[in-house]
Structure formats: C-alpha cells, structure tokens
Amino acid sequence: MGKTFFIIGGARSGKSAFALTLADGMEGTKTYIATAQAYDAEMEERIRNHKDERSEQWHTFEEPLEVAATIKKAGSGVALVDCVTLWLTNLMGADLKDSEIISKAADLSSACRQSAANIVIVSNEVGQGIVPDNPLARRFRDLSGKVNQLLAESADEVYFVAAGIPLKMK
Amino acid sequence: MGKTFFIIGGARSGKSAFALTLADGMEGTKTYIATAQAYDAEMEERIRNHKDERSEQWHTFEEPLEVAATIKKAGSGVALVDCVTLWLTNLMGADLKDSEIISKAADLSSACRQSAANIVIVSNEVGQGIVPDNPLARRFRDLSGKVNQLLAESADEVYFVAAGIPLKMK
Amino acid sequence: MGKTFFIIGGARSGKSAFALTLADGMEGTKTYIATAQAYDAEMEERIRNHKDERSEQWHTFEEPLEVAATIKKAGSGVALVDCVTLWLTNLMGADLKDSEIISKAADLSSACRQSAANIVIVSNEVGQGIVPDNPLARRFRDLSGKVNQLLAESADEVYFVAAGIPLKMK
C-alpha cells in the first residue's frame, strides 16, 4: 500500500511547491489532481502558473468534485491533490450539506488509505485570522478545519509549511 | 504544585479535543471552565457539542469573566479552561480597559502557577490573517496576542495545533 | 560573513521581542532598521513602544523603502529589520509593480548574504485566514507570501513564533 502525506500551510506559503518536490522524489507514474476551476482571469493565471511548475512527467486531471473516485483511477505511483480548500469551495458551491461534505472527505481519506499509490494532499490553514463577519465564511472555516483534521488523522506524515519551510508535525 | 499546559491553534484546529485528551489522561477531579456565553443559536449548538464530547467525570463551571477565581476553587486534579479567546471577548464586552484585561490575564497566570491542580488552557491564534479593517477587531487581535504571550510564558508546556496534530513548542 | 535569521509570526506573536533578544545576544554594533511610517496616532504609539523596548546600544534608521541599501551601510555587528510586512506595504504604496517588489526583495536577500553583519529579519504570516474580499488585500497577501519564501530560502535560520514561543524551522 502507498503512504499518504498531508501538507498544510497558509496562502502563498510554498505548500504546493513543497508537495511537488516531495512527489517528484517518488517513483512511478505521476498523477496531478487539480481541483481548481477557472471562473475568472485571476484564477486562470494561477492555474497556468501551477501547471508551468510541473515537469512533463505529470498527467493532470481537472476534477472539481469527485476527488476520491479520481484517486481510485490513479493506479500506483504517486497522486498529488491540490488542493482540498478549493475542493471544499466547489462542494459548497454545488449545494452539498455539511454532513455530505464530511462524508465526501471520509471517502477521500478511505481512498487514500486503500490506494496502491502514494498520495500527497495539499490544504490551507484558514482559521488563524479574526472570526469572519459573514456566516458563509464561518461555515467554510469550520468545514475546512474539520476536513483537515479528518485527512491529517489518517495521513502517515503531516507537514506544516510557512515561508516555504516545511515542518514535520507527524 | 500542578503544571500548566497552554494549547494554541486556529479555529477548528482540534485544539479543544487535544486539550481534552491531555486532561483526560491526568489523575484527580476534573473541572471544566467554560467561558462561552450562548448569545445565539449557533453558539448554543457549539457549547452543546463541546459538552457532548466530555465524559461524565467532568464537572462544568460556566464562567464568562472570573476565570482566575474559578481556578482557585478547582482544588487539585485538573482544570481545563476553554477558551481564552471567548473570555477576552467577554471582558471586552464588559467594557474593561486594555490595562484591566492584561491585569486579569496576569491574575489568571498567577492562579495557574499557584494551583495544586494541573491547568490546561485553550486559546486561539487570531493574528495570522490580513490586518482587519475595523479598529475593534484590531484591538481584539492585539489583546489576544498579548494575553497569549503572557500565558504561554508562565506555562510549563506549550502546544501549537493544526489539522488536529499537536506540535510541542515548549 | 554574517548569518541571516528570518523570524515569522502573526500579529502580536512576540516575533519582534524574540528578534530583539536574539540580536541583543550577538556581538558588535547594533543597527535597527525600522520600516514603519507614522501615518496616524495608532502607528506613532506602536513605533514609540517598540523604541522603548530597545536598549541605548541600538542605532535606529527609519527606512520605509531602501532596506537593502541601508543594510549595506550597516557595517559589521548586527542589523535588525523590523519588519518586512510594513516595508511591503510601503512599496505597494509607492506604486511599485509586483515584479519590481520581488526584485527589491531579491536585492534584500542578496544584501543579507553579502553582509559582514548578522542580519535578523522580522516578518508577518498573513495567509492563514479567510481569503480577503478586496483585490488589494489579496495582492498584498500573495506578495507577502512570495517575499517571505524568498527571504526564508536564503536565511541560515528560520523561526516561527506563536504566543511568544519561537520554534526553529530551519
């Protein structure tokens, strides 16, 4: 069985670059699961920049919702999921209830544990600022925290990234 | 004398669950000091959920303001304060000045050091986002940081929690 | 050659005090490079408070923009830059483009590596909250993260500070 690596950090903390370095060092076929949806020009540019950072070895799947199913298709080697936070945004945008979202995260955790591939998962810490004014942002923050806990709990290794420097937490 | 443990993390980082696990492993009577006030339905549900996570061993005090005095009544065993951030919100809501709030935090720190009980204190990191627009949020953020520093300085052990994973800082 | 120390933490995390303690323990002349500009009373008070915390050994330069040039003038001993976040705010306020700001940060990184002095740099983590609504705050958050990564990469030692407790990351 493969191992699961959970990488958490703030925006622009270097977490994606660290995840890519980690995954590039692993053997076998390389599957990149991008959860981003290009709904505006700013996002399009971010997606393009991320793609430019990857070598040609990587096969990219754009999958905004069904991440667990995509992992099942990944086979052996390594699969990199970037990122959980946008996936959660997409699930909320698709009008899923909290319980349905937690259930999706449990499916992802289970798919990681059962996969022959090493899975590297990237997520954001979004709960270390002031409590947001609007209820939707609070719901997003709560769900992010719960989903991060669930995925980190079942991961073999957990890294916290700040200023591009990874710190092994588990 | 008992020891003091200071647990800091973001919203939904798993800090309360970690604090509870830590405290559950300690001997003696168990005192839970809840600083939360149920001013709306969302908060009521959060309080109820936290209560459901505790075993029947725990004796709960609801104390929004006089945390140091409540710790003095706790006797030996272990007392868990959850959380400093809501306590600070309550002190600000009670129109205390900054100097009075810092003085209250110094009293809490002193009560922890003098207690026969082990004290586990839970607090939030709220200063790692963008500077908030409104002055009250900036004041809250400044006071949170100062109070956290004061309590962590006098604690025997300090843990930073992200995605449910505790990292020992001291 | 001197060493570079990069200190990152949230608002009111105790990062400046830790940086000062670190620098106070080093030998030679002491140069403090303050990037803050007193554009209102709140900021004036913060600057005054920071100054009061330093011993008379320190020679202060107030330099909102040309930090790399000021480091070159610092000679040997130790130079403390507090902080990168306000410097970035000043560069954005001076209407520099993103590429110009990144280039300034590369100059700073280069000046640190070439200096005979030990350089201690203080910066904020601002990317661990909810995505800000306004585009300027998002741009600031992105640039902060990029600049922090650039400076941490070339630093000899990196510390993450929370609740006044430093954690060595590198």
CB atoms within 10 A of CB B147: 25
**Tokens for C83?**
């902080």
Q: What is the mean pLDDT of chain C?
A: 93
Q: How many residues does chain B have?
A: 170
Min Cα distance B56 → chain C (Å) is 32
Q: What is the pLDDT of residues B71-97, one digit of tens each?
A: 998 888 999 999 999 999 999 999 999
Whole-angstrom distance between the N-terminal and C-terminal Cα of chain C? Answer: 19
Contacts of residue C131 in chain A, CB cutoff 8 Å? 11, 126
φ/ψ bin of C107: left (φ > 0), alpha (ψ from -120 to 50), beta (otherwise): alpha
3-state helix, strand, coil in chain A (%, to 5): 45, 20, 30
Residue B31 to residues A135, B75, B79, B155, B158, Cα–Cα distance (Å): 32, 9, 5, 18, 20
User: In a structure prediction context, what are the per-residue pLDDT tens digits for chain A, which is 170 residues long?
Assistant: 899 999 999 999 999 999 999 999 999 999 999 998 877 787 788 777 777 778 788 999 999 999 999 999 888 899 999 999 999 999 999 999 999 999 999 999 999 999 999 999 999 999 999 999 899 999 999 999 999 999 999 999 999 999 999 999 99
Q: Which of C6, C35, C36, C50 is catalytic?
A: C50
Contacts of residue A10 in chain B, CB cutoff 8 Å? 128
Note if A50 is an active site residue.
yes
With bands split at pLDDT 50, 70 and 90, how would you rate the model's confidence at C109? very high
Distance (Å, whole) CA C5 – CA C168: 10
A11 to chain C: closest CA residue? C127
Q: What is the pLDDT of residues C17-67, one digit of tens each?
A: 999 999 999 999 999 999 988 777 877 887 787 777 787 889 999 999 999
Phi, psi of B132 (to 5 degrees): -70, 150
**Tokens for C150?**
């650039």
pLDDT (0 to 100) of residue B14: 97
Question: Residue A33: beta bridge partners?
Answer: A61, A81
CB A31 within 8 A of CB A2: no
pLDDT (0 to 100) of residue A93: 95
Chain C residues within 8 Å of chain A (Cβ atoms): 6, 8, 10, 123, 125-131, 141-142, 144-146, 148-149, 151-153, 158, 160, 167, 169-170
Q: What is the pLDDT of residues C120-146, one digit of tens each?
A: 999 999 999 999 989 999 999 999 999
Q: What is the pLDDT of residues B114-159, one digit of tens each?
A: 999 999 999 999 999 999 989 999 999 999 999 999 999 999 999 9
Residue B33 has pLDDT above 80, yes or no: yes
Residue B162 has pLDDT above 90, yes or no: yes
Homologous superfamily in CATH for domain A4-168:
P-loop containing nucleotide triphosphate hydrolases (3.40.50.300)
DSSP code, position B124? E
Which region among A108-112, B54-58, B110-114, C151-155 has the lowest average model confidence (pLDDT)? B54-58
Q: Which of B50, B71, B122, B166 is catalytic?
A: B50
- ipTM for the predicted complex comes to 0.93
pLDDT (0 to 100) of residue A151: 98
pLDDT (0 to 100) of residue B113: 95
C8 to chain B: closest CA residue? B128
With bands split at pLDDT 50, 70 and 90, how would you rate the model's confidence at B164? very high
Q: Do B164 and A142 touch (CB under 8 A)?
A: no
pLDDT (0 to 100) of residue B90: 96
Q: What is the largest CA-CA distance in chain A?
A: 46
Q: Which of A15, A30, A50, A104 is catalytic?
A: A50
With bands split at pLDDT 50, 70 and 90, how would you rate the model's confidence at B100? very high
CA A15, A21, A26, A32: dihedral to nearest 10 degrees? 60
pLDDT (0 to 100) of residue A56: 81
pLDDT (0 to 100) of residue C64: 95
pLDDT (0 to 100) of residue C39: 73
Q: Which of A124, A126, A163 sits opposite C6 (nearest CB)?
A: A163
In the block, which residue shows the tokens 């006797």?
A: B75
What average pLDDT does range C69-94 have in this prediction? 94
CB A54 within 8 A of CB A20: yes
Q: Do A127 and B163 touch (CB under 8 A)?
A: no
Contacts of residue A124 in chain C, CB cutoff 8 Å? 128
Contacts of residue C105 in chain A, CB cutoff 8 Å? none
Tell me if the bond preceding C83 is cis, omega within 30° of 0.
yes
pLDDT (0 to 100) of residue A50: 75
